[in-house]
Amino acid sequence: MSARIADAFRRAASENRAAFVAYLTAGDPDPGATAGLARAAASGGADVLELGVPFSDPIADGATLQRAASRALAAGTTLERVFSIAAEIRRRSELALVLFSYANPLLARGRKVFGEAKDAGFDGILLTDVPVEEAGAFRPAIVSAGLDPVFLASPTSTAARMREAAALSRGFLYVVSRNGTTGEKAKLAADLASTVRRARAAARNLPIAVGFGIATPRDAATVAAMADGVVVGSALVSCVEREGRRAGRSVERLVRSLSRACAR
């Protein structure tokens, strides 16, 4: 596994807490702002950063992340620029970085894209619209480039499908907390504990991180009691939407409150 991702989860476990995984859309509100926002998230206590590639048809994302992708694309954010942003983050930080993308932007560059991602400083790749049945078209090239492939398990996944997603993943297994798209919700899914138990049984020693709909310190604390990692995206992107390039302090404060809530 990637040393940075593995170390992030080991360090969190040794400190009796869940790792905090933050998400930001690269290029939102503009490409020049993202590295600073990433540093703010790291200062607030993020262990891992998922850096999202803006895409014109983000089917897994709710309205907040859809608007972020639109802003980033309008600001001229390309995949090449995402790699430049990652390289800037890497020059100043050992924060574990996961490239969060739909398949199309990566396929457009061909298989060299995985080596480019590694060279830019990424440690893992999560392809949101690639199911385990289609992993064979991507996973060998991802692993060969020295990156951790991260796959998804959801409340509707069977035990066999969860085991397959875990077997294909390195770094961590991403557990979707509820059905539907990303976005802040008033409360966590009623069947979350059951979903996490099933994912834990499937993943065995692989860390599991839970995302989708986690927005408050109370949510984070609830999830941290069950899982190895807590993923928050829309709540952070909402800060960027409200404040633009001035969102750094708000992002840092929010990450600090959420990451502190991950203590057990």
CA 162-163-164 angle, to 5 degrees, is 90
Output the six-digit token pair for 57.
């048809």
Laid out side by side, the sheet with 19-25 consists of 148-150, 124-127, 96-101, 48-52, 19-25, 229-232, 208-211, 173-176, 152-153
Q: Of the listed 47, 50, 123, 228, which one is catalytic?
A: 50
Q: Does the CA dihedral 246-249-251-254 come out positive or negative?
A: negative
Q: Give the C-alpha separation, 82 to 123, whole Å.
A: 14
What single letter denotes the amino acid at residue 107? L
What single letter denotes the amino acid at residue 225? A
Q: Of the listed 47, 61, 148, 219, which one is catalytic?
A: 61
Neighbours of 8 (CB within 10 A): 25
Establish whether 123 is a catalytic residue: no
Helix, strand, or coil here: 155?
Answer: coil
Question: What number of H helices and E strands is found in the chain?
Answer: 12, 9
| Cβ atoms of residues 149 and 143 within 8 Å | yes
Burial of 23 (C-beta count, 10 Å sphere; 0-12/13-18/19+): buried
Nearest one of 257, 228, 172 to 19, comparing CA atoms: 228
Establish whether 61 is a catalytic residue: yes
Would you please indicate which residues are annotated as catalytic (active-site) residues? 50, 61
